[in-house]
Amino acid sequence: MKRYLWLAAGLIAAVSIPLVLGGRDTLAQLQRFPLPLWLCLLGMIVLCWGINALRQRLLLGEDRHRLSYRHSLGLVMASEFAYCATPGGSGGPLTLLALLGRQGVRPAKASAVFAMDQLSDLLFFLCALIGILFYALFHHLNRNVQGLLGFSAVLLVAALLGVIGLARYHRSVIRFNGAALRRLGVQAPRRRRWARKLLHFLDAFGDTFRLPWQQLLQVFVLTCLHWGLRYSVLYLALQGLGADLQWAWTFLIQMLSLSAGQFSLMPGGAGTAELTSAALLAPMVGKGTAAAAILIWRAVTYYFYLIAGGPVFLMLVGRPMVNRMMGMR
């Protein structure tokens, strides 16, 4: 029960921060926001779900016949809901692996699909970050933004190097883990079982990585299309409010805000993402416009995920996993 109250408190804080920042001007601007643009933004998110379902089916390879496209779409919506509703997004991978397992996909294969999906996202953001760094060479960035941008770059490069290191030196990693677990008193049968699971995952990941290059290229193109659509929501929201801000700035603000929200360990970064984006956006477009844009952005990319994905999640997952995920720390 406390977890549900914590989620509710985070959602209330997420809505309250922009309203306090913009005051009455925020409500007035929200009333003037065009309804067709609202529908367009929501349609973009639905399209993102469809794109992710296609990407997932490409990564499954021969196992994609185990589930229909409709089921793949439901799986994406359920896992996105779990990601937004749990601290640090911890429920997203659990939901994905559990639902794929119910369709007969081996745990190692499901883990490899998730890892490859995350690697594709990582490559996209690394490329985007390089583009933003070139953009910053010709535009002035304040010191706070420069610090956050540098910190994000370090994290992305470190994550990519970690993946490469695990693939290249996996035998040394297994031996090191075995020695560490032995010192912690873990019994030999359990150590061997965990080592076998890691080897099965690496084999499955290698098989996924050896998919035809045309198929992997399609996955990356779909990744770019997905994040390009999702990160255009704030830009279009500002355009609908009459603010003139370049797309690159809105991309940077969203990336930094969502990164800060991820590290806060709040469900969906509730509160932290709003606070960070308000601090970055308000000096550029004014408090009222910034607050209205943040509310629209989060309504489309966060609250809509909870509202639309919640029923799908309950239908596919059921109450036992809900209680298990809400109890995760």
Q: Which of the residue ranges 14-18, 33-37, 68-72, 241-245 would you say has the lowest mean pLDDT? A: 14-18
Retrieve residue 22's tokens: 């913009």
Which residue is listed with tokens 């109450």?
A: 319
Which residue is listed with tokens 């529908």?
A: 39
Mean pLDDT for the chain overall = 79
Nearest 5°: phi and psi at 307?
Answer: -70, -45
Q: What's the pLDDT tens digit per position in 19-62? A: 767 667 778 888 888 999 999 999 999 999 999 999 999 988 88
> Whole-angstrom Cα distance, residue 213 to residue 210?
8
Q: What's the pLDDT tens digit per position in 73-117? A: 999 999 999 888 887 777 888 888 888 888 888 888 888 888 888
pLDDT at 308: 92
pTM exceeding 0.85: no
Retrieve residue 94's tokens: 């659990």
* 204: pLDDT strictly greater than 80: no
Q: What's the pLDDT tens digit per position in 226-240? A: 999 999 999 999 998
* 152: pLDDT strictly greater than 80: no
> Whole-angstrom Cα distance, residue 292 to residue 131?
28
Percentage of the chain exceeding pLDDT 70: 73
Report, in angstroms and rounded to the nearest whole number, the Rg of the chain calculated over CA atoms. Answer: 21
* Cβ–Cβ under 8 Å, residues 95 and 322: no
Q: Quick count: other Cβ atoms within 10 Å of Cβ 122?
A: 16
**Residue 267 DSSP code:** B
Angle, CA of 209, 210 and 211, to the nearest 5°: 95
pLDDT at 324: 59
Give the total residue count for the chain: 329
In what helix (H) or strand (E) does residue 45 lie, and over which residues does it extend? Answer: helix 35-60
